[in-house]
């Protein structure tokens, strides 16, 4: 089973996150940040990951710590669940339309953390959610998953659509990259022999 449970407790957040890479898209998300709940629910559905997230954070300050720390926990969960990455496809990419928005994402589970992020969002807020926190989430994820991730907006004018397209594209890209290739299930997908 390619699963992981991450418990992260700090002075700012208390998080319990469980991930099953080979799930059916079940989500039980309670982050204290409504917009992030929506994004992670559709992330689980489109990635076909079973994901449970419970977070108590200092949202009376703002949502920054909760969003960033959940990104950390999700990244750690992917790294743990993938293990030595034997048999995975390793690479994935998706160009996803969301109404007028069009978002590209591409990942390499290389072990080398890097985020290329070019996702201009027209507004500073979607509801009460600070849109600048989207990049913080993905920075935290890539650093802790140990992956190279590129996210790029190709088109879009509606902030909600752009961010939702981003998370859906991200989910489908991770689904592809983390899938096991049955023809090479016992191989590490690298000439180095390790990832």
Tell me, yes or no, whether 100 lies in a domain: yes
Low-confidence ranges of the chain (pLDDT < 70): none
Please give the pLDDT value at position 182: 92
For 94-106, the pLDDT digits (tens) are: 999 999 999 999 9
Please give the pLDDT value at position 64: 98
DSSP letters spanning 52-102 = EEEEEE-TTT-SHHHHHHHHHHHHHHHHHHHTT-TTB--EEEEEEEETTEE
Domain total in the chain? 1
Tell me, yes or no, whether 47 lies in a domain: yes
**pTM summary value:** 0.97
Q: What is the CATH number of the domain that holds 30?
A: 3.30.230.40
Range of the domain at 30: 3-184
Please give the pLDDT value at position 105: 99
Q: Which residues contact 12 (CB under 8 A, 6 or more apart)?
A: 57, 58, 65, 66, 69
Cα–Cα distance for residue pair 165/163, rounded to 1 Å: 5
Tokens standing for residue 55: 């977070």
Tell me, yes or no, whether 63 lies in a domain: yes
* Pairing of the two strands 148-155 and 101-108: antiparallel
């Amino acid at each position: 089973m390619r699963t992981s449970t991450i418990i992260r407790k700090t002075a700012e957040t208390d998080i319990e996150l469980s991930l099953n890479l080979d799930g059916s898209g079940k989500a039980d998300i309670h982050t204290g940040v409504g917009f992030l709940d929506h994004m992670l629910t559709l992330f689980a559905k489109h990635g076909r990951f079973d994901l449970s997230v419970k977070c108590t954070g200092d949202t009376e300050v703002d949502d920054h710590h909760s969003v960033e720390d959940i990104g950390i926990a999700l990244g750690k969960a992917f790294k743990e669940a993938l293990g030595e990455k034997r048999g995975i496809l390793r690479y994935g990419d998706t160009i996803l339309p969301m109404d007028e928005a069009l978002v590209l994402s591409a990942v390499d589970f290389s072990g080398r953390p890097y985020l290329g992020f070019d996702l201009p969002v027209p507004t500073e807020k979607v509801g009460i959610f600070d849109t600048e926190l989207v990049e913080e989430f993905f920075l935290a994820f890539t650093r802790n998953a140990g992956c190279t991730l590129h996210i790029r907006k190709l088109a879009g004018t509606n902030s909600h659509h752009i961010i939702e397209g981003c998370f859906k594209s991200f989910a489908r890209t991770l689904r592809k990259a983390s899938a096991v290739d049955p023809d090479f299930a016992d191989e590490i997908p690298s000439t180095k022999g390790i990832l």
